[in-house]
Structure 1
Amino acid sequence: MISNLSKPELLAPAGNLVSALTAFDAGADAVYGGLKKFNARERTENFSSDEMAKLITYAHSNGKKVYVTFNTLIKESEIISAAEMLSELVALKPDAVIIQDIGVLHLIREYFPSLVVHASTQMGIHNSEGVKLAASMGIKRVILERQVTLDEIRQIKAVSPIEIELFIHGALCCSLSGKCLFSSFHGGFSGNRGKCKQPCRYNYFSGPNEGYYFSTRDLCSLELIPEMKKVGITSLKIEGRLRKQDYVKNVVSAYRLMLDAVPERENSTLEEAMDLLGLSYGREFFTGFTSDKSFSDLVRPDSSGVSGSLCGRVANVAEGGFSVLLSRKLHLGDRIRIQSKSGKKGTALTITEMTVSGRNITEGRSGETCFITTRDREVLPDGFVYKIGESIDEMTGRISRLPLAMKRKIDFKVAVSAKGFNIDVKDGSSNLKWNKAIELAKAQKHPLGEEKIKSEFSAASSEILAPGEINAEVDGEYFIPLSVLKDVRREFWKWAEENVSKDKSAELAKSQLDKFFLFYGALKGSTSPREKTTAENINPTALASLPTNNIPETEIHSFVVNPARDVPFSSSDEIILPHFCPEGKLSELRKQIIDAYGKGARRFRLTSIFQLGLLKEFKDLKLSSSYPLPVCNSLAVCELRRLGFSKVQAWPELEEREIEVMIAKSAATVEIFRYGRLPLMMTRAEIPATGELRDSRGNRLNLKKDPATGMTCLYSDFVICIPEIKDASDFFDFTNASPGEKNTSYFNSKSVWE
């Protein structure tokens, strides 16, 4: 087991180089950020390859770490470009890559094994069985699901074979991580692709009432830092890659204070740290899931969830700008957002010009009506004006001086004798020798000493090499003119540049990429017979309204695991396992599986990877995957096939064309979700509404709470109804839909999943 750490790593967000450097200056031990594609915050600036190289070089030169986010789901058509980007990352040498897609995990482990893998919170790992399974798959650190309690964290950490990372500050999703279709269903922009439109921040209507029923408070776990130290959490993570450096500076500084505080100073330090957080602009704070009761405190239905400090309201919109009646000070350089009451995304801008009665000002005061100049920006009449940040230093000069790559350090030993210099250089697993013949005279005074040799040879003039550990020995007292010693040093470093082996990581990565291309080009689809599966007890004749042109060879009936079932299972019966099982319920679920197996159950439908750990002792099983276990590409299929799955369900957000090309390369039977209502979000949070909801456009939604699990699910009024796809098996879900409903949707199958 990983031993407890007295002081966890402080991990900060980096949406760009300025934020990253700010975080390090404020005391962060590590930062995380993404390249321009395949990361869960595509709406921020992100890094080019050169910018990421500069960041990693700077971090490693200063004893810091950089983790690269590669944490979105990858479509089949993107596999090649994803592999090429991973090949580039091998050469950049980040400290780890954060992933969500198990296909990406398969790709890294098999072809780019030098990359260390961390499991994103988007993987939804929330119990010890999930952590253990992740470790067996080659993952070195798990970023836990946010909606786990402090007691559950303690239990998981106590048995974890790998590092555990937690989010401790920042914006929270109402949904369980990686299990939200809300944004995607209402416009195609998916949180699983880094493009969430945040419909959870909108206003909704429940009967005669209205509110922001899914808008969460911001996480702030400052007061829990002493407990996190005791538990032995490896890394504490701050959310905020969309935030600017003023926010990063204040939040990182606050948590640095608490992490460094000695026990007798923790209370007074907490006050000082909270004052620092007060300088950032966020929502009302939520301490965290300290217990089950905390789930009732997460959502604030009376608050839109707009981050920032309310400073006024738009009084008038005119050509070139708008007037705002201020309730709080604003300054030139401040960043503001103009937000509507509906909670939908507003207009953000930086104040570059501000006037009162035609007079230019640098500060607007409470009670004044100021005119703020805008350029081609839409401003909502009667909008609310929030301050979201202050003027910032862009660090242009500092960034321009950052080196693109770090020099390679070499260790060597300099031996001096009367006949000259002999230098032994350690080059990986081999040793190189360099000699310089010079007749050295006996010194009358000031003999050449070991410290002088070390000092002189440490002055490397190389562009690619730097001195590491230098040892020196002199077998007598010799004199050498300083100019000659410098010539010897320059000659040595020139030789070293030509003879010390170059960093071959890029060449190796290219070779591995070529091997992957050969493998991927040879992948062929499965020829297994098609199957039709229906969920819940229902007469198969009810499917008459859902035409299937090609009659499947096998019909399967799925049931949610139920300990009360008395009758034996037939060969066509399948058990659906719950996607979420808190740590304290694992033993109960294990008993239910044992009971079902004893009654003849051999087919199991897995909805999360943790369930594999509960099934490992049983033989002769037929395993299928199902939502919300994501399978978006043939490499994810390869990984699940390796783990024993014979059938996988394509991720429901995928468009039809992507499913077709995935099927053509999938080593297992691919099933599609043909009919039913999938939960748009699932949460442990207490939602302050029940039953039917409506949004501002009249779309109807439905909230359902499972009293057995305490989980609340949000469903659309629309039923997903997907046309048949050639060579795919079918899944019909009647747990939340009736056959033949008229209000149907293709979801993304006929459009593009963004």
Structure 2
Amino acid sequence: MIELLAPVGSKEALIAAVESGTNAVYLGGKMFGARHYAPNFTDEELTEAVRFAHLRGVAVLVTVNTLLDDSELPLLVDYLRHLYEIGVDAIIVQDLGVAVVAKKVVPNLPLHASTQMTAHNLAGVDFLAAMGFKRVVLARELSLADIEYICKHTTVEIETFIHGALCISYSGQCLMSSLIGGRSGNRGRCAQPCRLPYTLVDAAGNDALQQADAGAYLLSPKDFNTIEVLPQLIEAGVTSFKIEGRMKRPEYVAVVVDAYRRSIDSYQARQSDYTVSEQDKKDLAQIFNRDFTTAHLYGKNGRAMMSDRRPNNRGVRVGRVLEYKPANKTAVIKLDESLAIGDIVEFWVKVGGRVNVTITAMTVGGKAVTEAKAHTAVTIPVSSPVRDNDRVFKVFDAALMERARACFNRADAFRRIPVDAAVTVAEGSPLVITLQDSEGFTGQAATAFVAEKALKRPLTPDTVMKQIERLGTTVFSLRQLDCQIQGEVMVPVSEINDARRRAVEALETARLARFYRQPLPQDKSIVSIQPQARTVNPENRPELVVNVDAVDKVRAAVDNGADIVMFGGECFGNRPLAAEDYHAAAAYCHSHGRKIILNTPRLLNQRQMQELQARIALFNEINPMAIGVGNIGTLHLFRDRIPLHGDYPLNIYNSVAAGYVSNTGLASLTLSPELNFAQIEELAAKKLAPIECLVHGYLTLMISDYCLLGSFLGGSDIQKCGKACLRGQFWLKDRMNELFPVATDQFCRMHILNAKELSMLPHVPRLMRAGISRLRFEAKYSPVQEVARVTRLYRELIDQGERHPLLVQDKITAAEHENITRGHYFRGVL
């Protein structure tokens, strides 16, 4: 079965989704959900929501898709048990630690991997399948070809997004909201910095897009819309089609679910003649759009994927201004689409921004009307001046909203379950009502009253029908009645009604029985999966790691005291590394008695995974200390080979996740940069693989398959980009005049780096006391001279500790520039 999966952020949205024909809904409780700012559901509301949906045959998936720290694990255990006990069909998970806990405490509760897990290749799906996941939600960056390949080569269910807002960064890999404002997307509190205005500037500080006719919202993508290409996704083998929008209003849910429900049904009814009605296209655009895109399904779209002029709902264009009459503050609009009283329109004024008007009166040809048809000239009052030829967009359609609201604000349901009723009665016996639905579930009840011989008005089929069909407040509707009355008998109407109510209750119970689960054991302990405490050596001296992407930086790191060099992975400057680069880097490290970790890219599509596999022989030949892996796909690919180092994009945030990957083949791991000092110290005190922390450098805030430079400066064809990234350095300037470096790698992916450089120079002694095994300098963006200087400083601080002259004399800040940050070490994230 093809599953249509709808977003639910409130009770009204739940009703809207179910009534509009969804097969399943996903929603969040008050804890651990990636949409913290949605209304969400209390525990009691969750229980009611599950019953409401299950009674109607709709599955309920609950989001438990944030990163958790150790202090939250006891709450997680109780929450998971509650979800299991109320019959939730599956949980959607981002954190590997949450998955491990769930397998321990609720082993029969199905696991779905959130798109926040960044599963973007078959190996990543295979990793999750081996871990026990039933379904994987793929990253939104995949092409249709890659989706089809994965579907054909895996046994787990595959879910993809089909409609709604897009993240410009790979989900689960974005730190922008977190490091700028302390609101972590990985913790469900994204502040959406991608929807803010930016200016792309060059090394001279000039607007690099001055000649490109670009808008200000350079990171704001259009909305995803696949309704016209839905058959191709179905034929690719996708199991579940997911609509984005837990923050959206219930009217949005109603309209979008309704359109996709009918489209899926249309495809299944007549595959070769699939069409989408023009009305559905209009409704989808009207309810909310930033313009639409198919994103990466058919390759890179570049600028065509972006809504750079408007980051929010743009509505539907309904016409242009013919004339503005300042005397009476009215505008005459030549309509392309109809307009009605109650609609809200927005004028895109050439000078002065936007003018928003709720239509309370309108005239056509001097005559007052309540609706104006397309191709007519309508006059409406306006609150501010507009200009001739300004475009007019309808951002609120009163009729559409009224139709959408009918899905959730009616007292009775309109998507009902048909039932057949059988009534039997004879003198000396009770009247028996049997209800059976289309799935074969039955409910039966008998009157307490024993039928008597009628003295005046004997019971008739019509009398029985009037009582049996009174199902208005239930989810059922009567399809047909088989009434068997033997003789002339009498049964009070109140008795018939009571039996009908009990038969309905019995049918509801029968429909819900399929969701029954065995009780959980009383033991809630997760001690067996939590790493135990260890003794931290007070004289701990961590190794210094420098992460670089060029051979000259390898030399600078080694010459200035790096113990370990990480080399490879993404290379800034859009240049791939050749085999001789790897050999040269390894040779220099080995000749100086230093260790080398050969890094792999954090993101690899199917083709790139095959290219990486071809490099296994090279890696084996070099025999590095370890191979660095930054996603679950490469972890799965290399897990049985030489030692692996797990990099920070794996989002290791708690000891259970750290323990799991340690036992899964990682010889060492980098903790999430979103952890604070206290959390790091707690993890370092556990028996885990050697722990590494990022302590210096410009951290990547976003990584994206959308390349801003190529899209706006590379020419009209993004597939034949003019390599603007090689013509100089560029920065994104925000409203606070902060400058975020923009870099591209050899895969033409864009990296937006933090405007501030992380520096933990003054706090090296505390990191040493914490028992951290390795301190890492992210040096890919740093010039060679800076790699040398910073490496030497950390080398001295590790060797001398608190005896270092800069610490003794309290002059450590002299070694830092003014534009530095301590990251989350002292503030953590929400």
Question: How does the TM-score come out when normalised to structure 1?
Answer: 0.74
The letter for the 1-side match of 2:657 is A
Asked if 1:585 is matched to 2:608, the reply is yes
CA gap 1:331/1:660 in 2 versus in 1, 3 angstroms: farther
CA gap 1:728/1:33 in 2 versus in 1, 3 angstroms: same
Select 1:93's aligned residue among 87, 93, 97: 87
Mapping of 1:223-372 within 5 angstroms?
223-261=228-266, 262-267=270-275, 269-295=276-302, 297-301=304-308, 303-309=309-315, 368-370=381-383
Asked if 1:637 is matched to 2:637, the reply is no
- 3-state SS of the aligned residue for 1:279? helix
Contact 2:223/2:292, CA 8 A, preserved across alignment? yes
For 1:40-81, what per-residue CA distance to the aligned partner results, in whole angstroms no more than 9, with x for missing partners? Answer: 111211111222222211211111111111111112322222
Query: In the alignment, what sits opposite 1:534?
Result: 546
Gap runs ≥5 in structure 1: 313-322, 356-360, 372-383, 404-457, 459-479, 547-554
How far the C-alpha of 1:175 sits from its partner, in A, is: 0.7
Query: In the alignment, what sits opposite 1:595?
Result: 618
Query: In the alignment, what sits opposite 2:750?
Result: 712
Mapping of 1:485-564 within 5 angstroms?
508-509=519-520, 511=521, 514-516=523-525, 518-519=527-528, 523-526=531-534, 531-532=542-543, 533-536=545-548, 537-540=554-557, 555-560=563-568, 563-564=579-580
Asked if 1:604 is matched to 2:612, the reply is no
The letter for the 1-side match of 2:749 is M
- For residues 678 and 346 of structure 2, what CA distance do their matches in structure 1 show? 41
The letter for the 2-side match of 1:599 is I
- For residues 362 and 674 of structure 1, what CA distance do their matches in structure 2 show? 65
Query: In the alignment, what sits opposite 1:152?
Result: 146
- 3-state SS of the aligned residue for 1:610? helix
- For residues 406 and 254 of structure 2, what CA distance do their matches in structure 1 show? 17
Name the one with the larger helix percent.
2
Asked if 1:614 is matched to 2:637, the reply is yes
How far the C-alpha of 1:295 sits from its partner, in A, is: 4.4
Asked if 1:51 is matched to 2:45, the reply is yes
- For residues 653 and 95 of structure 1, what CA distance do their matches in structure 2 show? 31
The letter for the 2-side match of 1:557 is V
Contact 2:24/2:60, CA 8 A, preserved across alignment? yes
CA gap 1:60/1:507 in 2 versus in 1, 3 angstroms: closer
- 3-state SS of the aligned residue for 1:179? coil
- For residues 273 and 713 of structure 1, what CA distance do their matches in structure 2 show? 37
For 1:184-204, what per-residue CA distance to the aligned partner results, in whole angstroms no more than 9, with x for missing partners? Answer: 121111221222222112232
Contact 1:281/1:389, CA 8 A, preserved across alignment? no
Asked if 1:572 is matched to 2:595, the reply is yes
For 1:568-593, what per-residue CA distance to the aligned partner results, in whole angstroms no more than 9, with x for missing partners? Answer: 68583212121111101222201212
The letter for the 2-side match of 1:736 is Y
The letter for the 2-side match of 1:49 is D
Query: In the alignment, what sits opposite 1:122?
Result: 116
CA gap 1:370/1:541 in 2 versus in 1, 3 angstroms: same
How far the C-alpha of 1:753 sits from its partner, in A, is: 0.4
CA gap 1:667/1:275 in 2 versus in 1, 3 angstroms: same
For 1:490-541, what per-residue CA distance to the aligned partner results, in whole angstroms no more than 9, with x for missing partners? Answer: 9x99xx9xxx9x99989944x46x4325547x74235588642222314457
How far the C-alpha of 1:744 sits from its partner, in A, is: 1.6
- 3-state SS of the aligned residue for 1:222? coil
For 1:666-716, what per-residue CA distance to the aligned partner results, in whole angstroms no more than 9, with x for missing partners? Answer: 533322111122211111113136532311211011111113x12111112
Asked if 1:699 is matched to 2:727, the reply is no
Contact 2:315/2:396, CA 8 A, preserved across alignment? no
CA gap 1:518/1:223 in 2 versus in 1, 3 angstroms: same
How far the C-alpha of 1:660 sits from its partner, in A, is: 2.1
Out of 126-135 and 672-681, give the one that drifted further.
672-681
- 3-state SS of the aligned residue for 1:67? strand
Identity among equivalent pairs (%): 27
Asked if 1:179 is matched to 2:173, the reply is yes
Asked if 1:663 is matched to 2:684, the reply is yes
Asked if 1:203 is matched to 2:198, the reply is yes
- 3-state SS of the aligned residue for 2:286? coil
Query: In the alignment, what sits opposite 1:650?
Result: 671
- Report the aligned-residue RMSD: 5.4
- 3-state SS of the aligned residue for 1:223? coil
How far the C-alpha of 1:249 sits from its partner, in A, is: 1.8
Query: In the alignment, what sits opposite 1:472?
Result: none
Query: In the alignment, what sits opposite 1:624?
Result: 645
Contact 1:253/1:276, CA 8 A, preserved across alignment? no
- 3-state SS of the aligned residue for 2:102? helix
The letter for the 1-side match of 2:628 is R
The letter for the 1-side match of 2:31 is K
- 3-state SS of the aligned residue for 1:304? coil
Contact 2:295/2:301, CA 8 A, preserved across alignment? yes
Query: In the alignment, what sits opposite 2:425?
Result: none
Question: How does the TM-score come out when normalised to structure 2?
Answer: 0.68
Query: In the alignment, what sits opposite 2:459?
Result: none
CA gap 1:332/1:42 in 2 versus in 1, 3 angstroms: farther
Contact 1:90/1:505, CA 8 A, preserved across alignment? no
Contact 1:326/1:369, CA 8 A, preserved across alignment? no
Gap runs ≥5 in structure 2: 210-215, 319-328, 363-368, 373-377, 385-390, 414-467, 469-488, 549-553, 570-576, 714-724, 791-815
- 3-state SS of the aligned residue for 1:133? helix
Contact 1:354/1:370, CA 8 A, preserved across alignment? no
- For residues 224 and 212 of structure 1, what CA distance do their matches in structure 2 show? 27
Contact 1:332/1:362, CA 8 A, preserved across alignment? no
- For residues 345 and 72 of structure 2, what CA distance do their matches in structure 1 show? 36
- 3-state SS of the aligned residue for 2:109? coil
CA gap 1:205/1:685 in 2 versus in 1, 3 angstroms: closer
- For residues 89 and 156 of structure 1, what CA distance do their matches in structure 2 show? 30
For 1:247-286, what per-residue CA distance to the aligned partner results, in whole angstroms no more than 9, with x for missing partners? Answer: 222211221222122234323x353431321331211111
Asked if 1:83 is matched to 2:127, the reply is no
Query: In the alignment, what sits opposite 1:107?
Result: 101
For 1:445-500, what per-residue CA distance to the aligned partner results, in whole angstroms no more than 9, with x for missing partners? Answer: xxxxxxxxxxxxx9xxxxxxxxxxxxxxxxxxxxx9999x99xx99x99xx9xxx9
Asked if 1:73 is matched to 2:82, the reply is no
Contact 2:286/2:396, CA 8 A, preserved across alignment? no
CA gap 1:715/1:173 in 2 versus in 1, 3 angstroms: same
Query: In the alignment, what sits opposite 2:27?
Result: 33
For 1:124-174, what per-residue CA distance to the aligned partner results, in whole angstroms no more than 9, with x for missing partners? Answer: 000000111110011111110000111111111110120111111111111
- For residues 395 and 605 of structure 1, what CA distance do their matches in structure 2 show? 52
The letter for the 1-side match of 2:827 is S
- For residues 299 and 183 of structure 1, what CA distance do their matches in structure 2 show? 20
- For residues 331 and 225 of structure 1, what CA distance do their matches in structure 2 show? 35
- 3-state SS of the aligned residue for 1:177? coil
Contact 1:10/1:29, CA 8 A, preserved across alignment? yes
How far the C-alpha of 1:330 sits from its partner, in A, is: 9.0
Contact 2:161/2:241, CA 8 A, preserved across alignment? yes
For 1:398-419, what per-residue CA distance to the aligned partner results, in whole angstroms no more than 9, with x for missing partners? Answer: 789999xxxxxxxxxxxxxxxx
How far the C-alpha of 1:638 sits from its partner, in A, is: 2.1
Query: In the alignment, what sits opposite 1:751?
Result: 827
